[in-house]
Amino acid sequence: MKQKKEFDWFDRPESKRKLWIWLYAFCGLLVAIDLFTHRHAYFGFGHYFAFYALLGFVSCAVLILFSKLVGLFLKAKEDYYDK
Amino acid sequence: MISDFPPAAILILGALLVPFFKGKAKNWYVILLPAAAFYLISQLQVGSSWQVHFFGFDLTFLRVDKLSKVFGYIFTLNAVAAFVYAFYLKDNTQHVAAAIYIGSALGVVFAGDLVSLYFFWEVMAVASTFLILSRKTKKAQAAGMRYIMVHIFGGLCLLAGMVIYITETGSIAFNAMADRNLGTYLILIGLLVNAAAPPLHAWLPDAYPEATATGGVILSAYTTKTAVYTLVRGFPGWEILIVVGCIMTIYGIIYALLENDMRRILAYSIINQVGFMVCGVGIGTAMSLNGTVAHAFCHIIYKSLLWMSAGSVLYMVGKSKCTDLGGLYKTMPWTLIFGGIGALSISSFPATSGFTSKSLILDGAIHEHLMWVWLVLEVASAGVFLHAGIKFPYFVFFAKDKGLRPGETNKGMLIAMGFMAFMCIFLGLYPQPLYNVLPHVVPYQAYTFTHVIAQLQLLMLSALVFFLFLKLLKRTETISIDTDWFYRKGGGLFYYVMDKALNGINGVSERIFVGGLAGYLGRVSRDGPTRAALLGMVPAWAIGGAKGERLAIKKDNVRTALRTGTSPIGITAAIATIFLVVVFLLL
């Protein structure tokens, strides 16, 4: 009996490359749209070009780095409480 | 009369009959209970009824208004889905505990006074503990124990606050609290324990992930959201809640990023999400309160959905650590798709329910010109996508294939997840039915072109950061130390410190007083008179010409005489005189 081939598209290197391209393209497109639209400024800075893109990028980078930093102190071995 | 029957009673009384049903009838029966309660709530008329006179108090078991109704709707709707999800389960304990837990949550929501609220509050704590204990592992037993202890502490704060409040105001009615004094602050602390506000939050990520697969789904919805309800009812506009809420949103993200256990990631993300709601209560305007209620409504749906997908992975694979999971998209595609919809919803992706509900809270902050609050909530919104939106599905379903081939989960679970996923998208595309049942009438339009683009920019760039920083996010086989350390390790440490310190002092005291000082005093009092006598007499003898052997003999004679109490009168008189001189000098 012939075995059904497993769906493994996401494991393939060429798929990963494609996904990266799509991700960059989508991000680029969203930022590009800012060139043609005008957002209402809530606090005097919400309307800047690519404001939300920058906010997302910077805040996530900071969150990851910060959690990495506090992780040095807060991470413990799994049997920490059993000892 | 159907129009004024407490919905809590259906579930609590109904729970008692669960053991009498056999086989699948039991599962159908428990689905029917919340469905009946849902119908009942839709028929309830606004007003108060079921007033009972009890120990001098007029209790109100059924206070119906828009706020209690909307929580009633979502509590029963979620319960129906949760029991469909639990269709495979034959365990009486879990079904009974779940029905009583959900029933008492309804009891809290419809309680018109503090006393009956407190009663249901405590029943909730006890019933929910059984959903954790039912896992029947040693870890679950210990976590369940800690869980109930923390809730007893919270309950005591609430009770103390209520006693003070009732004594001061003379009323047990539960409405918006105006005075800010010890009583109301204690009530607030009691409520915030259940809302899982740091530093009183550690019970949640400690206990929920130890619950059973369905227990986790049910627990994720009720305890924290009844707390949100009570905050909306009792503490709207309390500015301190803005601060508490902002801290919660960021705190949840940081810990969720550190975590390795998938259900613990989801547990921390509850704290993050409830933070948004608490913040909305603190802002306290009609729009932000609407936002809080809408967000609680949508949150219960997508968070249940996320716990369901994690639960079905746990049910099929028996593992919950990210380091053990991965590559499940091949064999559990439906769990992935439904869980993915939940993940997008929690991230407020446009076209999902998170987008149409969370925006209300953010707009509430904008309308009040709270720039920093708005900024923190935006940062937290980006962070949600990071930890719950991508991290959870990525490490469980993609990442590295660990060779797990469990196959798709059972039909009941899939139907429940499918329904919840449908609700996420339905409320995302067409939120009007939800807006209609919110407590305040505030027209709102979430979908403007610039809003959608702004949100997509925020989220997609967050996604980009996730994959760019993937190496930093590599999972490690660790746990994260949280404030439960103080009662898990701190107790031991306290014991150790007390043991070392107090017993150390004991040891030193013993050495000094028993071994040293007492012996010294003994020697002094024994030899003192002899020494004193010799001190006076040796110079006298020396002057008299006594030397060498004669002097030694004289000294020996004095020692023997004093020891045996046979000294000549002259010497006794001399010693007595010396003693009196010494005493005189000392005094």
User: pLDDT per residue over B348-358, tens digit each?
Assistant: 999 999 999 99
pLDDT of A1 > 60? The answer is: no
User: pLDDT per residue over B85-109, tens digit each?
Assistant: 999 989 899 999 999 999 999 999 9
Per the domain annotation, does A4 fall within a domain?
no
Alpha carbons within 13 angstroms on the beta-carbon side of residue B374 total: 18
- Check: CB of residue B240 under 8 Å from CB of residue B192: no
Nearest-neighbour CA in chain A from B455: distance (Å): 7
**What token pair was written down for B11?**
């579930």
Annotate B210-230 with DSSP letters as a single string. Answer: GS-HHHHHHHHHHHHHHHHHH
Taking an 8 Å cut-off on Cβ atoms, the answer to whether B254 and A57 are in contact is no
C-alpha span between B389 and B402 (Å, rounded): 22
Taking an 8 Å cut-off on Cβ atoms, the answer to whether B461 and A27 are in contact is yes
Chain A residues closer than 8 Å to B492 by CB: none
Residues of B (352-381) whose Cβ lies below 8 Å from A: 366, 369, 371, 374, 378-379
State what percent of residues in chain B have pLDDT above 90.
70
**Mean pLDDT computed over A49-60:** 92
Residues of A (16-35) whose Cβ lies below 8 Å from B: 20, 23-24, 26-27, 30-31, 33-34
Kindly state whether B258 is in contact with chain A, defined as any CB-CB distance less than 8 angstroms: yes
């060498």: which residue's tokens? B548
pLDDT of B529 > 80? The answer is: no
> What confidence category does residue B379 fall into, taking pLDDT thresholds of 50, 70 and 90?
very high
Taking an 8 Å cut-off on Cβ atoms, the answer to whether A37 and B450 are in contact is yes
> What confidence category does residue B571 fall into, taking pLDDT thresholds of 50, 70 and 90?
low
Nearest to B453 among A37, A54, A56 (CB): A37
Annotate B299-341 with DSSP letters as a single string. Answer: HHHHHHHHHHHHHHHHHHH---BTTT---GGGT-HHHHHHHHH
- Check: CB of residue B78 under 8 Å from CB of residue B417: no
Per the domain annotation, does A34 fall within a domain?
yes
Nearest to A55 among B382, B473, B480 (CB): B382
C-alpha span between B514 and B509 (Å, rounded): 8
**Mean pLDDT computed over A20-36:** 92
CA-closest candidate to residue B157, choices B187, B195, B181:
B187
Per the domain annotation, does A2 fall within a domain?
no
Q: How many domains does chain A have?
A: 1
Range of the domain at A61: 9-82
Q: Which of A46-60, B116-130, B211-225, B418-432 has the lowest mean pLDDT?
A: A46-60
C-alpha span between B212 and B137 (Å, rounded): 10
Per the domain annotation, does A3 fall within a domain?
no
Q: What angle do CA B255, B260, B261 make, to 5 degrees?
A: 100
The pLDDT score that the predictor gives to residue B2 is: 58
Per the domain annotation, does A32 fall within a domain?
yes
Nearest to A75 among B333, B466, B478 (CB): B478
What is the ipTM metric for this complex?
Answer: 0.92
The mean predicted confidence, pLDDT, of chain B is 91
């839709």: which residue's tokens? B42
Q: Where are the beta strands (DSSP E) in B421-498?
A: 478-480
Residue bearing the bigger pLDDT, B583 or B66: B66
pLDDT of A2 > 90? The answer is: no
């305890």: which residue's tokens? B223
pLDDT of B1 > 60? The answer is: no
CA-closest candidate to residue B148, choices B156, B138, B136:
B156
**What token pair was written down for B355?**
């987008």
Per the domain annotation, does A23 fall within a domain?
yes
The pLDDT score that the predictor gives to residue A3 is: 61
- Check: CB of residue B386 under 8 Å from CB of residue A64: yes
The pLDDT score that the predictor gives to residue B50 is: 81
Query: For A33, which residue in chain B has the nearest alpha carbon?
Result: B453
């592992």: which residue's tokens? B137
C-alpha span between A46 and B455 (Å, rounded): 12
Per the domain annotation, does A68 fall within a domain?
yes
Residue bearing the bigger pLDDT, B543 or B431: B431
C-alpha span between B310 and B329 (Å, rounded): 13
Tell me which H or E stretch contains B143.
Answer: helix B138-169
Annotate B152-209 with DSSP letters as a single string. Answer: HHHHHHHHHHHHHHHHHHS--B-S-----SHHHHHHHHHHHHHTT-TTS-THHHHHGG
